[in-house]
Amino acid sequence: MLSSPTVRTSLIFLAIALVGLLFADIAITASNPWRDLGNFFLGVITPNFFSSEGLMTALLRTVAFAFVGVALGSVCGFLLALVYKSLPVRIFSAFVRAIHELFWALIFLQFFGFHPLTGVLAIAIPYAGIFAKVYSEILEEADPEPGRVLPPGTGNITAFLYTRIPDCWVKMRTYTSYRLECGLRSSAILGFVGLPTLGFYLEASFSQGLYSDAGAMLILFYVLIATMPFWVRPKLLPVYVLGAPFFLGEGLPIVWGNVERFFTEDIVPAPLRNGEGLTGLMPWLNDLMINEAMPGIWNTIVLTQIALVATGILSLLAFPLISNHFGGPLRRNAGHVALVIARSTPEYILAYILLQLWGPSMLPAVVALALHNGGIIGHLIGRQTNSIKLRADAATGFNRYSWELVPRVYRSFLAFLFYRWEIIMRETAILGILGIYTLGFYVDSAIQNIRFDRAMVLILVTALLNIGVDTLGRYIRRKLALQTMPTC
Amino acid sequence: MSGFDLSGLTASFSGKRVIGPLSLNVNPGDRIALVGKSGAGKSTLIRLIHERVDRASSLIPQDLGLVNALSVFHNVFMGQLDKHSTWYNTITLARPFAKDRSEVHSLLQSLGMTEKLWTPTASLSGGQRQRVAIARALYRNAPVLLADEPVSALDGPMANSVMTHLRDRFSTSIIALHDVELALSYCTRIVGIHDGQIALDRPSEKLAASDIMSLY
């Protein structure tokens, strides 16, 4: 078994994570974590839907930001996908999607302020980069044969509309609706930086210890996502997309002077701004790299690797919950609910909650990342096992799990895991805003100290790190010949 | 143009020559059947000829080239996309014009599948899909037909009826056929392919089924 490249790769990653644990700051620092956790769960089972009139508005704003952001992102992404062959377009798309929505929001907040445009662009820009990549992959997979039998002289647009779009339509629609679900999560967490969506009210309730209010908010959010198939209908989509811009709220007006100052002064590295020239720039950059970027990168990588392996272990433990190959409809229904909750809760919200309960360390982040991503992969693998036909006399129980199912799904499991590697790293970096010393922490501190020049360099470093991991992940998937689909 | 000289036709697959070099002279009015073992290079030859006479030919490739998500009507209509403007084609995609509908409808009537006009081709059977590709070629109405096993999935009577249609509509045709009987009854000239070369080229009235069997 050790000679199998997939097993060897898994063991190497496991070893890296174990070594990482030696360096990681894993602890529960809260004085009474279990009581707090108990209070929180008590809040979730005794939700209070009527305490604040802000709740419904927050829900509405969350949906509105998601629709406008995702719609804008998908249109721009589609246009980019048409010219995705060009290298500059690829690099541009990779770059904008390597920067997390919250980072984009933090950037736009500095010059657009609390204007709705901040939230819309924070979702639309990274999503455009993602859509560009996935749409172009889908378009590339279209059957080329119909294009070959077209009468010569057929116009390019006609050919595209008749031979490419119909073949890709279903996949593009499925992917876009999946992205809309992601958009709802993104929109919710934008509240944590002050936009009027769910995260804002969640943070407010938590800081006042109003767990029943927070519980109500989470439950409404799950209901919103779980009922998507019922209220997101093709016929209603134009209504939503055209109506959503009117529900983004007023926000605060844009002060154009701030916009100009941001680009001409704030983000110009301090030494250049003060006229010290290149001689001043090097020490400045050196200081930034050694004191902030390096520790940030180190912690981000350590946390990512631990969270990646934890995600993998959790996925493998979770998939039997929804697999048809093990007994009982009761277990399966409960399993479905558990996995829906795990994957619908944004990592950021999970980490925020756990951090409030357990105190600051890497542990809440690892658990949050593993729960969310493990829920997603567990769900996909579980569904995959349901299409496997076992022979009638196949082993049962744990033997069925370890001999029949895991070997069959292990390759796609690894494919999903390596696909999510980059996503986990992007989230790890952003969790720094909550006070874990990953790159996001240093970005957030720089912004708090009104040193946008440093923040921009650190965001750039984060983006490059993500692009690096994405490339490495793709290399490993290619090396191991792992296939994956983009919707995970 | 309905007759043409094809010379120096060659094709290689991963360094190995699978066709030619060979020459084929096609006269106006020729109905050529390409016969030979599977793997002899018939499909490749059809593809090569199509590259040479592109504009003037209606093509039925072996894998049909249907857009599975589109309806039968749209797949057939694709045969004349070059005859309309982009906006006309785009509107047709959403809502076809009555004139085109009735034209395609009557064409499909002759192939016995009108009830499927608005069904996506993905949900059709193999024989039905083949007839959609044939209808597209008929609708295209080019002077030359290039077809690769156009009736392989059709039963006897249907195969004969389709071959009759193709013979009536196209004065010049090159059809790869594995069915020797069909080749002899619907084509005027039999070209036998063996190892990527022409091993036989004679009018069909001078041939019997047994002469062709030597190629297999």
Q: Please tell me the predicted confidence (pLDDT) of residue B25.
A: 85
User: Do the Cβ atoms of A377 and A369 come closer than 8 Å?
Assistant: no
Under the banding of pLDDT at 50, 70 and 90, the label for residue A2 is low
Burial (CB < 10 A; 0-12, 13-18, 19+), residue A327, is: exposed
The predicted-structure confidence for A182-206, as pLDDT tens digits, reads as follows: 999 999 999 999 899 999 988 888 8
Instruction: Give, in order, the Cα–Cα distances in Å from A465 to each of A362, A451, B35, B137.
Output: 19, 21, 60, 54
Three-class secondary structure of residue A467 per DSSP:
helix
Instruction: Residue window 363-422, chain A: list those with CB within 8 Å of chain B.
Output: none
ipTM for the predicted complex: 0.73
Poorest-confidence range of A49-63, A440-454, B123-137? A49-63
Q: Please tell me the predicted confidence (pLDDT) of residue A257.
A: 80
User: Do the Cβ atoms of A393 and A269 come closer than 8 Å?
Assistant: no
Q: Please tell me the predicted confidence (pLDDT) of residue A484.
A: 60
Under the banding of pLDDT at 50, 70 and 90, the label for residue A488 is very low
Q: Which residues of B touch A158 (CB under 8 A)?
A: 81, 84, 86, 89-90
> In chain A, what are the domains?
1-30+284-488 (1.10.3720.10), 54-266 (1.10.3720.10)
Q: Which residues of B touch A159 (CB under 8 A)?
A: 81
Taking CA–CA distances from A157, the nearest residue in chain B reads B86
The predicted-structure confidence for A396-413, as pLDDT tens digits, reads as follows: 788 888 888 888 899 889
Under the banding of pLDDT at 50, 70 and 90, the label for residue A485 is low
Higher pLDDT, B79 or A65: A65
Most confident by average pLDDT, A391-400, B35-44, B166-175, B194-203: B166-175
Under the banding of pLDDT at 50, 70 and 90, the label for residue B50 is confident
Instruction: Give, in order, the Cα–Cα distances in Å from A87 to each of A74, A91, A124, A297, A322.
Output: 20, 6, 21, 27, 42
B59 touches chain A (CB under 8 A): yes
Q: Which residues of A touch B86 (CB under 8 A)?
A: 155, 157-158
Length of chain A as a residue count: 488
Task: Give the integer Cα–Cα distance in Å for A307 and A365.
Answer: 8
Is the bond into A329 cis (omega within 30 degrees of 0)? no
User: Do the Cβ atoms of A488 and A412 come closer than 8 Å?
Assistant: no
The predicted-structure confidence for A413-423, as pLDDT tens digits, reads as follows: 999 999 899 99
Torsion angles phi and psi, residue B65, rounded to 5: 65, 40
Does B61 sit within 8 Å of A148, measured CB to CB?
A: yes
A163 touches chain B (CB under 8 A): yes
Does A162 sit within 8 Å of B70, measured CB to CB?
A: yes
Residue A389 has pLDDT above 70, yes or no: yes
Sign of CA dihedral A287, A292, A293, A298: positive
Residue A265 DSSP class:
I
Distance from CA of B56 to the nearest CA of A (A): 9
This prediction's pTM: 0.82
CA angle B96, B98, B100 (to 5 degrees): 70
Interface A–B counts its CB contacts (< 8 A) at 70
Three-class secondary structure of residue A148 per DSSP:
helix
A86-111 mean pLDDT: 92
B95 touches chain A (CB under 8 A): no
- List residues bridging with B17 in a β-sheet: B12
- Structure tokens, A342: 């795990």
Burial (CB < 10 A; 0-12, 13-18, 19+), residue B103, is: middle
A173 touches chain B (CB under 8 A): no
Does A158 sit within 8 Å of B86, measured CB to CB?
A: yes
Does A148 sit within 8 Å of B81, measured CB to CB?
A: no
Does B69 sit within 8 Å of A150, measured CB to CB?
A: no
A123-150 mean pLDDT: 91
Q: Which residues of B touch A148 (CB under 8 A)?
A: 61, 65
Task: Give the integer Cα–Cα distance in Å for B74 and A131.
Answer: 28
- Structure tokens, A82: 């048409």
How many Cβ atoms are within 10 Å of A487's Cβ, its own excluded? Answer: 12
Q: Calculate the average pLDDT of chain B.
A: 85
- List residues bridging with B146 in a β-sheet: B59, B174
Distance from CA of B118 to the nearest CA of A (A): 14
Task: Give the integer Cα–Cα distance in Å for A127 and B209.
Answer: 64
Residue A449 has pLDDT above 60, yes or no: yes
- What are the extents of the domains in chain B? 4-213
Residue B120 DSSP class:
B
Task: Give the integer Cα–Cα distance in Å for A285 and A62.
Answer: 39
Instruction: Give, in order, the Cα–Cα distances in Å from B86 to each of A146, B73, B82, B91.
Output: 18, 18, 9, 9
Instruction: Give, in order, the Cα–Cα distances in Å from A89 to each of A82, A84, A123.
Output: 10, 6, 19
Pairing of strands B172-176, B57-60: unpaired
Q: Which residues of A touch B79 (CB under 8 A)?
A: 151
B49 touches chain A (CB under 8 A): no
Distance from CA of B142 to the nearest CA of A (A): 9
Under the banding of pLDDT at 50, 70 and 90, the label for residue A147 is confident
The predicted-structure confidence for B157-195, as pLDDT tens digits, reads as follows: 889 999 999 999 898 999 998 888 888 889 989 988 888
Q: Please tell me the predicted confidence (pLDDT) of residue B108.
A: 92
Q: H/E element holding B101? A: helix B98-110
In 3D space, the residue among A394, A228, A226, A371 whose CA is nearest the CA of residue A323 turns out to be A394
The predicted-structure confidence for A199-245, as pLDDT tens digits, reads as follows: 998 888 888 888 888 888 888 898 888 888 898 888 888 899 898 88
Residues B167-172: contacts with CB under 8 Å, at least 24 apart: B167/B31, B169/B138, B169/B141, B169/B145, B170/B31, B170/B58, B170/B142, B170/B143, B170/B144, B170/B145, B171/B2, B171/B28, B171/B29, B171/B143, B172/B2, B172/B3, B172/B26, B172/B28, B172/B29, B172/B30, B172/B31, B172/B143, B172/B144, B172/B145
A455-473 mean pLDDT: 93
Test mutation, B53, B71, B81, chain A, max A CBs within 10 A: B81
CA A21 to chain CA centroid, Å, is: 24
Residue found under tokens 């990592």: A347
Helix pair A347-358, A33-45: axis angle to 10 deg: 130
B122 touches chain A (CB under 8 A): no
B80 touches chain A (CB under 8 A): yes
- Structure tokens, A25: 């700051």
Instruction: Give, in order, the Cα–Cα distances in Å from B205 to each of A439, B31, B188, B194.
Output: 83, 12, 7, 21
Residue A93 has pLDDT above 90, yes or no: yes
Q: Calculate the average pLDDT of chain A.
A: 88
Q: Please tell me the predicted confidence (pLDDT) of residue A52.
A: 67
Residue B2 has pLDDT above 60, yes or no: no
Torsion angles phi and psi, residue B17, rounded to 5: -75, 125
Q: Which residues of B touch A167 (CB under 8 A)?
A: 67-69
CATH number of B4-213: 3.40.50.300
Residue type, A251: G
Does B65 sit within 8 Å of A149, measured CB to CB?
A: yes
Q: Please tell me the predicted confidence (pLDDT) of residue A130.
A: 94
Poorest-confidence range of A33-42, B1-10, B52-61, B65-74? B1-10
User: Do the Cβ atoms of A119 and A190 come closer than 8 Å?
Assistant: yes
Under the banding of pLDDT at 50, 70 and 90, the label for residue B212 is confident
Task: Give the integer Cα–Cα distance in Å for A322 and A313.
Answer: 16
Q: Which of B67, B79, B82 is opposite residue A153, by nearest beta carbon? A: B82
Instruction: Give, in order, the Cα–Cα distances in Å from A47 to each of A198, A208, A347.
Output: 15, 15, 21
User: Do the Cβ atoms of A433 and A462 come closer than 8 Å?
Assistant: no
Q: Please tell me the predicted confidence (pLDDT) of residue A1.
A: 65
- List residues bridging with B176 in a β-sheet: B34, B148
User: Do the Cβ atoms of A299 and A429 come closer than 8 Å?
Assistant: no
User: Do the Cβ atoms of A153 and A209 come closer than 8 Å?
Assistant: no
Q: How many CA atoms lie within 13 A of A105 on its CB side?
A: 26
Pairing of strands B197-203, B189-194: antiparallel
